[in-house]
């Protein structure tokens, strides 16, 4: 096929030998099958922010650390330089997450590097060399659903132990090869300890996966893995060896209104302080 403009520099630099075909085009990227160093791999071409339809990106970027203070200020202000840094951070987040999770024991595509907004990584295939199907295209027995759900919950646990919440996990972001589920699409992965939305995202990730597998094994609907994991994570008791049960005892006591109001007040004061810091930064640059 004709080489896409965004892939041309990688071809010229010898990182890609040839572009075979387009695999898919989604809300955040277009993915191509390519040959690289004699192997068939995939090249994920990230869309520019203005063309990307991923909603509420700011929620996912909260808590991501930027070591360079100038870059951090620029990103907070939203200058052209800052927007470029945000794009780089968005793209590098997936590369970092892939390396981290692979090391932690989560099955993810092997990354080979990110170059000018293009992520080169392993192409996950079935036994016949065809592209592995997404989970949403796979039917299974109740026994297989229970087994694969347990495996995915273990992967979610390993992610959390590594300080990461996927943030967009669903049957559309899991591939299935002959060895089982493979987690994909991680540019929106969040810092579990630093992002205020981490728990709600974890709950959504687990709910999405459980709802899908429950179509084949309805008993899974009665489980509460997200709450179980998060409670252990908060107390420092979660580890890769933790054996999950899916059981969680909810606190039925009434909400402490005063505590809730204090949290709202603290959040308001924190936002005011952030605005002041932005104003100070603007003054420094004038």
**Does residue 72 register a pLDDT over 50?**
no
In angstroms, what CA-CA distances link 188 with 75, 87, 120? 17, 12, 18
% of the chain with per-residue pLDDT over 70: 75
4 vs 202: CA distance, rounded Å: 36
Helix axes 225-234, 198-214, angle to 10 degrees: 150
pLDDT at 5: 94
Reply yes or no on whether 177 is catalytic. Answer: no
pLDDT digits (tens, 9 = 90+) for 192-239: 999 999 999 999 999 999 999 999 999 999 999 999 999 999 999 999
pLDDT at 75: 44
Q: Specify whether the CB–CB gap between 55 and 100 falls below 8 A.
A: no
113 vs 96: CA distance, rounded Å: 10
pLDDT at 63: 52
pLDDT at 76: 55
Q: Which residue has the higher pLDDT, 83 or 121?
A: 121
| pLDDT level of residue 48 (50, 70, 90 thresholds) | confident
Which residues are 18's β-sheet partners?
Answer: 35
Average pLDDT over residues 98-107: 97
Q: Which residue has the higher pLDDT, 92 or 176?
A: 176
Indicate the pTM of the whole model. 0.78
Of 96, 127, 168, 251, which residue is the catalytic one? 168
pLDDT at 210: 98
- Cα torsion at 211, 213, 215, 219 (round to 10°)? -90
Reply yes or no on whether 211 is catalytic. Answer: no
pLDDT digits (tens, 9 = 90+) for 269-285: 666 765 665 555 454 45
pLDDT digits (tens, 9 = 90+) for 29-41: 999 999 999 999 9
pLDDT at 66: 47
Of 88, 148, 185, 251, which residue is the catalytic one? 185
| pLDDT level of residue 91 (50, 70, 90 thresholds) | confident
pLDDT at 19: 97
**CA-based max dimension of the chain:** 65
Helix axes 225-234, 142-161, angle to 10 degrees: 20
State the SS3 of 221-269: HHCCHHHHHHHHHHCCCCCCCCCCCCCCCCCCCCCCHHHHHHHHHHHHH
**Does residue 157 register a pLDDT over 80?**
yes
pLDDT digits (tens, 9 = 90+) for 103-153: 999 999 999 999 988 999 999 999 898 999 999 999 999 999 999 999 999
Tokens representing 254? 């009434």
Strands 118-122 and 174-177: unpaired
Q: DSSP assignment of 8-43, as one string?
A: HHHHHTTS-SEEEEEEEE-SSEEEEEEEETTEEEEE
């Amino acid at each position: 096929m004709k080489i896409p403009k965004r892939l041309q520099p990688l071809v010229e630099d010898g990182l890609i030998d040839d572009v075979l075909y387009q695999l898919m085009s989604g809300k955040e990227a277009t993915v191509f099958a390519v040959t690289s160093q004699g192997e068939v791999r995939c090249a994920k071409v990230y869309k520019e922010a203005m063309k990307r339809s991923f909603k509420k990106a700011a929620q996912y970027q909260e808590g991501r650390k930027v070591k360079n203070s100038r870059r951090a200020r620029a990103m907070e202000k939203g200058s052209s330089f800052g927007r470029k840094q945000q794009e780089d951070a968005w793209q590098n987040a997936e590369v970092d997450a892939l390396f981290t999770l692979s090391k932690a024991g989560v099955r993810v595509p092997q990354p080979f590097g990110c170059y000018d907004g293009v992520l080169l990584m392993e192409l996950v295939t079935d036994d016949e060399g065809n592209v592995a199907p997404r989970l949403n295209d796979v039917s299974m027995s109740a026994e297989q659903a229970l087994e694969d759900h347990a495996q995915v919950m273990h992967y979610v646990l390993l992610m959390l132990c590594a300080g990461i919440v996927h943030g967009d996990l669903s049957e559309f972001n899991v591939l299935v090869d002959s060895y089982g589920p493979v987690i994909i699409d991680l540019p929106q992965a969040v810092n579990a300890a630093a992002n205020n939305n981490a728990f709600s995202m974890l709950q959504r990730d687990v709910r999405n996966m459980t709802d899908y597998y429950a179509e084949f094994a309805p008993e899974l609907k009665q489980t509460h893995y997200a709450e179980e994991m998060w409670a252990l994570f908060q107390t420092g008791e979660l580890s890769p060896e933790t054996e999950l049960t899916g059981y969680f005892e909810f606190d039925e006591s009434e909400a402490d209104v005063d505590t809730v109001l204090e949290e709202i007040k603290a959040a308001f004061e924190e936002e005011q302080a952030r605005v002041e810091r932005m104003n100070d930064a603007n003054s420094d640059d004038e």
